[in-house]
Chain A
């Protein structure tokens, strides 16, 4: 009995730590007070109205959005073939490629950001947008490769061999048999890479420049100057959007699995 009580207490503490901060932010975003405070005073939607009309938030939101979408798509484009080769073939140096795809997860993103800064910005090869896109793609690519290769590994190899024995070429097997069976993995990879890119700070910190900035960076800068609840309102909006995307995708994935 006492063991059970202990488990409940631990659970309560875990939940408190996990969602406590969000609840505070959520509550603070409706506060009438001019400074971010908890418990909130009164109730107003003023801060929400402010953030969705502020040009710097809108512009950076758009930047973050196209960046996240393009980086995720690029990561899928590169990641699907890499994942397939890693999952299905044995070749010399395979281990090396595997490590290479996990490197961006292991290396501190600050370091990666600095390296990218040196290469692209200082040498001035590409525009800021292109540089941001390359940096974000590099950061999210490993996630795409991991998720997709595990979903390819879940597909029995004999299914591909069956298609081959029926006369299909390797390319045809990939397009007509492998791809339709890993859509769930591809969609989950897209969600994860999208969220990772959208929330990224360290890489963007180094690679953003005059006139172009991503939402998390703008939020950070804003917080350095102002301490009003508008940041809380923005955070609440972002959490709701992310939650909505995840829920919708889960519904879709659940349905597609049944079909």
Chain B
């Protein structure tokens, strides 16, 4: 049974203008679920509704079998970690973390014990006396997490907690967050616009677009089998070409593109004559000297060294500019060479073209 259930939840800032529409989501006990999407897709709104900062206009929020719609946010026992950390500027690290415990009227010695335990857990032992302004961004984020988890909330909500950190620290903190969440076994809903972050942290990811969930799936499934064009683009597929379905096979379909045909994996039911968009990842392309199966003619426009691989920008007539990543060892092609771009049918996904 799901621990956190959102049933047809609609939330908005004005009457009958919903930012989140009819959203349904089930999160299991101890699960780490991310809401992933571009800014304005309603992911933060959803999170704030769960926390109780926003009123649910339609639908129900159920935690552990109990309807939470009308419970005020300070009685929900839900931990919230903010993007800007939101530490109390006038309190030191100890007092920040102890805040929730004091409200719960724990005796002084218990508070002291719990705070020092949680500070050790997040790796901030010895920082008790510091003020937030004397901490680095990463340390402030650890305090914010410690403050949220020390009260043993039923649910932990995090709103882009890593987006104010620099790139290196962000990747370190990912591993830390995952470790903390698994050790505590706390049910977590995490909001981010960074697909790598969502995929690496979560048990399941809900990709959101315009207030709706496009796909709710495991990271592997999202990465390999996106169900919609939006999700495919969001997890790193680039638009390849548009064409018309001319043959439908068991697993693969054949698509006419100009005077040639390409085979691709169809992610939806497709029928003859349907207009489709083919997408593929830059690293799944191969560059050929002469025409091969499943390939299109193009010309190399630029060659950019990226370390492990070379990024080629290839101009394909009537299609546009495509990005292709080739491992450094095989990247013998130079700018202005005429080449053929090949992609395996397995790695080329077809989606119906939205009119």
Contacts and interface: CB of A to CB of B under 8 A. Distances in A.
Interface of A: 156, 158-159, 161-170, 172, 177, 180-181
Contacts of A161: 51, 53, 73, 80, 82, 86
Interface stretch (B26-34, B99-107, B296-304, B330-338): B99-107
B103 A159 contact: no
Nearest to B101: A166
A165 B88 contact: no
Given A162-B147, A167-B77, A172 B103 contact: yes
8 contacts: A159-B89, A163-B88, A165-B51, A165-B80, A169-B74, A172-B103, A177-B88, A181-B88
B113 interface: no
B79 interface: yes
Nearest to B100: A166
Contact of A167 (B53, B82, B103): B103
A180 B80 contact: no
A161 B51 CA distance: 10
Nearest to B99: A166
A164 B73 contact: yes
Contacts of B53: 161, 164
Nearest to B104: A167
Contacts of A162: 80, 82, 86-88, 144, 147
B15 interface: no
Contacts of A172: 103
B99 A163 contact: yes
A168 B86 contact: no
Contact of B90 (A158, A168, A180): A180
B151 A167 contact: yes
A166 B86 contact: no
A168 B100 CA distance: 8
Contacts of B87: 159, 162
B78 interface: yes
A166 B147 contact: yes
A166 B151 contact: yes
B90 A181 contact: yes
Nearest to B80: A165
Contacts of B294: none
B84 interface: yes
A170 B51 CA distance: 15
Contacts of A159: 86-89
B73 A165 contact: yes
Interface string B303-328: 00000000000000000000000000
A158 B82 contact: yes
A167 B74 CA distance: 4
Closest 10 CB pairs of A and B: A166-B100, A158-B86, A165-B80, A162-B86, A167-B103, A180-B90, A158-B82, A159-B86, A164-B74, A164-B73
B75 interface: yes
Contacts of B75: 167
Given A162-B80, A163-B88, A165-B51, 18 more contacts: A158-B83, A159-B87, A161-B53, A161-B86, A162-B86, A162-B87, A162-B147, A164-B73, A165-B73, A165-B148, A166-B74, A166-B147, A167-B74, A167-B100, A169-B74, A172-B103, A180-B90, A181-B89
A166 B89 contact: no
Contacts of B144: 162
Interface in B135-179: 144, 147-148, 151
